[in-house]
Amino acid sequence: MIKNGERITLSLSEFKVLYALIRNKGKAIKNEELMAFSDLAEISSLYMCVKGLREKIEQDSKNLTILINQKGYGYFMEFQELSIDYTE
């Protein structure tokens, strides 16, 4: 994955979470569904995975505009801000 001309490496769990969010095109996905899809056993593992993704794909990890939490439910992505080249 390339962002701003730099190669970004994702862990397998990060890739699976990102893939699930992209496939759902802006719809919120329950935490439990993301955990099952990405083979994460603990909610804390999902939180760490999302934190890692945010650090890698957000322009400013303190001002989130791409990977958004829907409190008490799960996560969704805002696509208008996302410009990533998925080439190898």
Model pTM above 0.75: yes
Output the pLDDT for position 36.
94
The full set of domain ranges for the chain reads 2-81
Please give the Cα distance from 61 to 43 (Å, whole number): 20
- Residue-wise pLDDT for 24-72, tens only, equals 887 999 999 999 999 999 999 999 999 999 989 888 877 888 889 999 9
How many Å apart are CA 41 and CA 57, to the nearest integer?
Answer: 24
Average pLDDT (15-20) is 93
**Cβ-proximal residues to 15 (8 Å cutoff; 6+ apart), any chain:** none
In this model, does residue 86 exceed pLDDT 50?
Answer: yes
**Class assignment of domain 2-81?**
mainly alpha
